[in-house]
């Protein structure tokens, strides 16, 4: 196992800060340089160190890094947690939009080599003032240790940040990094309060995407949870604690202000270092990254062999790696059946614990084959692990039918978006595994005693099945089928077939897929070229294919009318849409 003290010790580009040693690397001046430096320090101190010191360290499961993110039910108070903001400019304390305790930073001397008694006295006073500021916020039981380590040092100097971090982790609020007069990053403030203004942000965002209307309390109460979840997920979280909520919304505010910034937070619940920073290119939202210690699934044999040969494991016996995940945001689109998709994985990087080298071509958390193997283990009761059911219950090891059904319900909800988008080959394997369990006669007696749970799983599966059909309709409306461009005859033929199947599948009714089907169908029927070229002409003016297209057009009209009639009758009922539950 890699010792935390040795982490990144063989990195030739290690950006460890050494402000006083001219032979060492220069202090970071840009956010990119600072981020590279902080990555290594935070990984070493906040992930590798507690992993080594705690035999029962709770590794992050790969599914926890996949959107949509699950609610954290446990807080590991003995593990480190912090929040931090860095600005690529000097601070102007009165003009800033957040409160913090100022640390006095070094000033550029008019004559760099001039050291007068007065300047030395000023430096000593500055050091003493910074020490006093930190001591007033640090719990008293750490004062003696802090004085011993920093009695003669200036805590604002970034080259001592690695030594200071264990004390910063004891503070309840954020610390602040910014430029000094030399345009080098330094610790410029502590005990910072990052304003979230959650109420205004939530209502403004809900109005913007059309989920709220001014003065409409019923609409607000109906859609508030969806808007809250979507807004938080855009910034890398589920609905979480105040520390992470403040970090996310403060990053949103800084991005809107046009700042060059980096906000970083480590929660004691998620054990994950989350970074929100200025994107490399102009984007609507901040860039989101997460770093965590993850265990590679034992089923990924080829990946394990490659990582083992190149020394990428932190702990080879437990297959533990340092994984960085990069995410991309999606704008809200009410016409998309996957309208709740705010975030998706754009990249995965495995970081070498000694050299810092990165492998970016391996799929650790999104491997479809491993998903099928995991599902197969769940239905057979052989899965080892835990899952959050209904946001308030931890289920471990599905060794009973009740646990298996709860596992399946949570698993289908968690992976709903990916299942909708994956290939037919993957989906057919998934159906085969589920049918082998849910339709097995030997299980019917047990399912009869767990009727509500059994129906819940079927409802989630039915929603996925219907939504996959809507996804196919979306592709067909653009005349795309299985990645190929198709003509109007093939388009209408496939749409008619899907709508006919959907008409019978909505015995298990969900409003969102039905509304999407009607909207897509309406868009197809209003196609100007289709109407002008085929529908509005007499049969004797059309070719054989043209008459077939016109006939299929009428068939689609009939099917949409039938589905609309079904929806009209169903709207009288009030049944929960499990597809909306996340």
Give the C-alpha separation, 6 to 40, whole Å: 11
> Are 401 and 450 spatial neighbours (Cβ–Cβ below 8 Å)?
yes
> Are 202 and 231 spatial neighbours (Cβ–Cβ below 8 Å)?
yes
Give the C-alpha separation, 480 to 143, whole Å: 67
pLDDT attached to residue 305: 93
pLDDT attached to residue 339: 64
DSSP at 273? E
Which residues are CB-neighbours of 187 under 8 A, at least 6 positions away?
103, 155, 156, 157, 158, 161, 164, 175, 176, 177
Collapsed DSSP state (helix, strand, coil) of residue 379: helix
Give the C-alpha separation, 82 to 71, whole Å: 19
Collapsed DSSP state (helix, strand, coil) of residue 356: coil
CA distances from residue 485 to 231, 479, 528, 545 in whole angstroms, order as listed: 36, 6, 19, 18
Helix or strand (DSSP H, E) at 277: strand 273-277
Predicted TM-score of the model (pTM): 0.79
**Dihedral of the alpha carbons of 258, 264, 267, 271, in degrees to the nearest 10:** 130
First to last CA, the chain: 37
Tokens 């769940």 found at = 378
Backbone φ and ψ for 72, nearest 5 degrees, come out as: -85, 125
Give the C-alpha separation, 234 to 328, whole Å: 9
DSSP at 582? -
Q: In sequence order, what DSSP letters do the residues of 225-254 get, joined into one string?
A: HHHHHHHHHHTT-SS--HHHHHHHHHHHHH
List the pLDDT tens digit at each of the 582 positions of the chain: 888 988 898 887 665 434 444 445 677 889 999 999 999 999 999 999 999 999 889 999 888 888 888 777 678 889 999 999 999 999 998 999 999 999 988 654 434 444 555 566 777 777 888 888 889 998 999 998 988 888 777 888 888 899 999 999 999 899 999 999 889 999 999 999 998 889 999 999 999 988 999 989 999 998 898 899 899 999 988 888 888 999 999 999 999 999 999 999 998 888 999 999 999 888 889 999 999 999 998 888 889 999 999 999 999 999 999 999 999 988 887 766 666 778 888 899 999 999 999 999 888 887 677 788 888 888 888 887 778 787 778 888 888 999 999 999 988 888 887 888 778 888 898 999 999 999 999 999 999 999 999 999 999 998 998 888 888 998 899 898 887 899 999 999 999 999 998 888 877 888 888 888 999 999 999 999 999 999 999 988 889 999 999 999 999 999 999 999 988 888 766 544 544 444
pLDDT attached to residue 187: 92
Give the C-alpha separation, 511 to 339, whole Å: 14
Give the C-alpha separation, 264 to 533, whole Å: 57
Structure tokens at 302: 């080829």
């Amino acid at each position: 196992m890699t010792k935390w003290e040795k982490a990144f010790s063989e990195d030739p580009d290690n950006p460890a800060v050494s402000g006083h040693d001219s032979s060492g690397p220069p202090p970071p001046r840009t956010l990119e340089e600072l981020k590279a430096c902080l990555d290594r320090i935070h990984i070493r101190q906040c992930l590798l160190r507690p992993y080594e010191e705690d035999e029962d360290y709770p590794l992050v499961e790969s599914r926890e890094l996949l959107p949509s993110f699950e609610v954290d039910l446990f807080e590991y108070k003995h593990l480190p947690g912090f929040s931090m903001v860095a600005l690529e400019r000097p601070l102007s304390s009165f003009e800033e939009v957040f409160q913090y305790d100022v640390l006095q930073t070094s000033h550029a001397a008019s004559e760099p080599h001039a050291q007068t008694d007065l300047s030395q006295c000023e430096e000593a006073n500055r050091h003493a003032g910074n020490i006093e500021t930190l001591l007033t916020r640090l719990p008293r039981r750490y004062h003696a240790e802090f004085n011993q380590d920093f009695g003669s040092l200036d805590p604002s100097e970034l080259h001592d940040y690695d030594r200071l971090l264990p004390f910063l982790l004891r503070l309840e609020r954020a610390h602040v990094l910014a430029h000094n007069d030399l345009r080098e990053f330094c610790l410029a403030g502590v005990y910072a309060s990052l304003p979230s203004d959650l109420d205004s942000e939530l209502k403004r965002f809900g109005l913007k995407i059309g989920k709220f209307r001014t003065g409409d309390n019923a609409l607000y109460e109906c859609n508030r949870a969806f808007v809250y979840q979507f807004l938080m997920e855009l910034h890398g979280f589920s609905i979480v604690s105040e520390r992470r909520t403040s970090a996310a919304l403060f990053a949103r505010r800084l991005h809107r202000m046009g700042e060059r910034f980096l906000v970083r937070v480590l929660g004691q619940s998620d054990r994950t270092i989350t970074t929100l920073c200025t994107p490399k290119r102009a984007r609507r939202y901040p860039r989101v990254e997460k770093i965590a210690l993850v265990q590679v699934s034992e089923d990924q044999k080829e990946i394990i062999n490659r990582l083992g040969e190149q020394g990428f494991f932190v702990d080879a016996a437990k297959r533990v790696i340092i994984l960085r995940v990069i995410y991309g945001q999606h704008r809200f689109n009410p016409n998309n059946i996957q309208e709740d998709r705010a975030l998706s994985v754009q990249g995965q990087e495995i970081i070498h614990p000694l050299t810092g080298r990165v492998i970016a071509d391996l799929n650790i958390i999104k491997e479809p084959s491993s998903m099928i193997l995991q599902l197969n283990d769940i239905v057979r009761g052989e899965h080892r692990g835990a899952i959050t059911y209904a946001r308030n219950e931890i289920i471990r090891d599905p060794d009973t039918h009740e646990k298996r059904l709860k596992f399946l319900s949570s698993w289908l909800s968690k992976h709903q978006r990916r299942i909708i988008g994956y290939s037919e080959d993957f989906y057919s394997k998934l159906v085969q595994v589920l049918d082998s369990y849910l339709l097995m006669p030997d299980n019917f007696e047990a399912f009869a005693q767990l009727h509500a749970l059994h129906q819940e799983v079927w409802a989630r599966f039915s929603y996925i099945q219907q939504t996959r059909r809507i996804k196919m309709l979306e592709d067909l409306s653009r005349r795309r089928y299985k990645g190929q461009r198709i003509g109007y005859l093939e388009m209408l033929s496939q749409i008619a077939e899907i709508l006919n199947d959907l008409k019978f599948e909505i015995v298990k009714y969900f409003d969102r897929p039905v509304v999407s089907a009607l909207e897509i169908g309406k868009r197809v029927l209003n196609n100007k070229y289709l109407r002008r070229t085929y529908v509005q002409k007499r049969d004797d003016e059309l070719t054989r294919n043209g008459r077939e297209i016109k006939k299929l057009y009428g068939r689609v009209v009939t099917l949409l009318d039938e589905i609309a009639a079904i929806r009209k009758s169903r709207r009288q009922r009030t049944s929960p849409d499990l597809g909306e539950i996340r």
